[in-house]
Amino acid sequence: MSKFNRVIAIVTDSIGIGEAPDAAKFHDIGADTLGHIGDHFDGDLCLPNWQHLGLGNIERLRPILGVGPVPNPQGYYGKMYEISVGKDSMDGHWEMMGLPVTQPLGFFPAGFPDALIKKIEAFAKRKVIVNLPYSGTDVIKEYGEHQLKTGDLIVYTSGDSVLQIAANTAVIPLDELYRICEYARSITVDEYHIGRVIARPYVGDSADTFTRTSDRHDYTLKPTAPTDLDRLQQAGVPTYGIGKINDIFSGIGLDDGVHTVSNDDGMVQTIEAVKSDRQGFIFTNLVDFDAMYGHRRNAQGDGEALMAFDQRLGELLKVMKADDLLLITSDHGNDPSFRGTDHTREYVPLIAYSPTFNASGDLGVRSPFSDLGATVLDNFGVTPGEFGSSFLSQLQ
Ligand X SMILES: O=P(O)(O)O[C@H]1O[C@H](CO)[C@@H](O)[C@H]1O
310 is a site residue for Mn ion (CB under 5 A): no
Segment near ligand X (CB under 6 A); pick from 158-166, 259-267, 272-280, 350-358: 158-166
Other beta carbons within 10 angstroms of residue 277's beta carbon come to: 7
193 marked ligand binding residue = no
Stretch that binds ligand X, among 3-11, 160-168, 368-376, 388-396 (CB under 6 A): 160-168
Write phi, then psi, for 258 (nearest 5 degrees). -140, 135
3-state secondary structure of 231: helix
Out of Mn ion, ligand X, none, which partner does residue 331 contact, by CB within 5 to 8 A per kind?
Mn ion
Best CA proximity match to 334, nearest among 8, 9, 3, 16: 16
CB neighbour list of residue 264: distance below 8 Å, 6 or more residues apart: 308, 312
Stretch touching ligand X by CB under 6 A, among 77-85, 277-285, 290-298, 315-323: 290-298
Among 51, 164, 220, 284, binds ligand X (CB under 6 A): 164
Annotated binding residue 52: no
> Is residue 24 within 8 Å of 30, Cβ to Cβ?
no
By the rule CB under 6 A, 290 interacts with ligand X:
yes
Known binding residue 13? Answer is: yes
Work out whether 162 is an interface residue with ligand X (CB under 6 A): yes
The interface with Mn ion within residues 83-142 (CB under 5 A) comprises: 89
User: Does 136 help bind ligand X (rule: CB under 6 A)?
Assistant: yes
Stretch that binds ligand X, among 171-179, 270-278, 289-297, 359-367 (CB under 6 A): 289-297
Can you point out the beta strands (E) in the chain? 6-12, 76-80, 128-133, 153-157, 162-168, 196-203, 211-212, 217-220, 239-242, 256-258, 280-286, 324-329, 348-353, 361-366
| Residue 224 main-chain phi, psi, to 5 deg | -80, -5
Interface with ligand X: number of residues (CB under 6 A): 12
User: Which residues in 336-355 contact ligand X (CB under 6 A)?
Assistant: 341
Nearest to 185, CA basis, from 194, 177, 176: 194
Binding mask 182-201 for ligand X (x = CB under 6 A): ------------------x-
With CB under 5 A as the contact rule, the residue among 32, 218, 290, 378 that binds Mn ion is 290
- C-alpha separations of 323 from 185, 354, 355, 394 in Å: 42, 7, 7, 16
Binding-site member from 4, 6, 12, 13 for Mn ion (CB under 5 A): 13
Instruction: Tell me which residue of 380, 252, 169, 382 sits closest to 241, measured CA to CA.
Output: 252
Decide which of Mn ion, ligand X, none touches 346; Cβ closer than 5 to 8 Å per partner kind: none
Distance CA 81, CA 346 (A): 7
Q: Is 290 annotated as a binding residue?
A: yes
Q: In the bound complex, what is the minimum distance in angstroms from residue 137's beta carbon to ligand X? A: 6
Q: Is 57 among the residues that bind ligand X (CB under 6 A)?
A: no
CA angle, 18 as apex, 17 and 22 as ends, to 5°? 125
- Helix pair angle (33-41, 299-319), 10° resolution: 100
Three-state secondary structure of 90-104: HHHHHHHCCCCCCCC
Residue number with the shortest CB distance to ligand X? 136
Task: Report in angstroms how near the CB of residue 301 gets to Mn ion at its nearest.
Answer: 14
Q: Which stretches of the chain bind ligand X, using CB under 6 A?
A: 89, 135-136, 158, 160, 162, 164, 200, 290-291, 295, 341
What residues form the annotated binding site? 13, 290, 295, 331-332, 343
Q: Which stretches of the chain bind Mn ion, using CB under 5 A?
A: 13, 89, 290, 331
